[in-house]
Amino acid sequence: MNERQLLQTAVKAADDKRAEDILVLNMKGISLVSDYFMICHGNSDKQVQAIAREIKEKAEENGFEIKRIEGFDEARWVLIDLGDTIAHVFHRDERTYYNLERLWGDAPIENIESELSQ
């Protein structure tokens, strides 16, 4: 499995749990941490946890290693480190506050329409 398949798995899993405003930033050459940041949000603590759980489960089912998960219990900003992709699952209020899209505004946005239409 390659990094694009990992990204597709994470995006599809988030979409399956009705994550809102899914966005992928291409961090290649910008961040040493990861090649992609997937950012999305849920409207409640339970939905944030459901999205994060689905990303974790689908990644593991497809043979990807979960390196680390942070913030799951608080469900305000869950970070799922998948290696080449880092998924940021926010509660709606925290997404607005931290505004990663603006912070990493120089990162190109990936087209994920094909993943969302499956």
User: Which helix (H) or strand (E) element contains residue 38?
Assistant: strand 36-42
How high does pLDDT run on average in the chain? 92
How confident is the model over 106-115, as a mean pLDDT? 83
pTM given for the model = 0.92
pLDDT of residue 31: 84
pLDDT of residue 113: 80
What contacts 17, CB < 8 A, 6 or more positions away? 42, 47, 50, 51, 54
Q: Are strands 68-70 and 20-26 parallel, antiparallel or unpaired?
A: unpaired
Percentage, residues of the chain above pLDDT 70? 95
- pLDDT-based confidence at residue 117 (cuts at 50, 70, 90): low
Q: Please write the tens of the pLDDT for every residue from 59-107.
A: 999 999 999 999 999 999 999 999 989 999 999 999 999 998 888 888 9
1 has pLDDT over 70:
no
36 and 25 in contact (C-beta within 8 Å)?
Answer: yes
> Structural domain boundaries of the chain?
3-116
118 has pLDDT over 70:
no
108 has pLDDT over 80:
yes
- Could you tell me the sign of the dihedral formed by the alpha carbons of 80, 85, 91, 96, in that order? positive
Residue 91 DSSP symbol: E
52 and 66 in contact (C-beta within 8 Å)?
Answer: no
Class of domain 3-116: alpha beta
Higher pLDDT, 38 or 4: 38
